Amino acid sequence: MPTTPPPHDDVVHSEPFLRSLMRRQLSLSIACAVTFLVVLLGLPLLNYFAPGLMATRMGGFTLTWLILGVLFFPFVWIISWTFIQRSIALEEDEVKSAKR
């Protein structure tokens, strides 16, 4: 069904360009995801192994309630803001390198 694609021999259509493109974007995403997951998946572990510490009162809240019910949201905003800044910079860089 597919006919022979027209020949593309510029940088954009080359295998190395696609590889570096995907590798750079994926490593940025994974770095952000790991930061997020360490905290998200670490919290139940702390609850499990250090229940006393997590029940410490902080201005009325227990420590674990304060983290999960309030502080978690700004933490995620910081990660996503960082990601967006870097990923837009990355795209601009890619456009430059493709047009060179």
Q: In the range 31-60, which residues lie near other proteins by CB under 8 A? A: 32-33, 36, 40-41, 44-45, 47-48, 51-52, 54-55, 57, 59-60
With a CB cutoff of 8 Å and minimum separation 6, the contacts of 43 are: 64, 67, 68
Structure tokens at 85: 């800044």
Interface pick for other proteins out of 27, 38, 42, 95 (rule CB under 8 A): 95
> Which of 45-57 are b and which e, b meaning 16 or more Cβ less than 10 Å from the residue's Cβ?
eebeeeeeebeee
With a CB cutoff of 8 Å and minimum separation 6, the contacts of 53 are: 46, 63
Residue 89 interacts with other proteins (CB under 8 A): yes or no: no
Residues that bind other proteins (CB under 8 A): 1-3, 5-6, 12-13, 15, 18, 21-22, 25-26, 29, 32-33, 36, 40-41, 44-45, 47-48, 51-52, 54-55, 57, 59-62, 64-65, 68-70, 72-74, 76-77, 79-81, 83-84, 87-88, 91-92, 94-95, 98
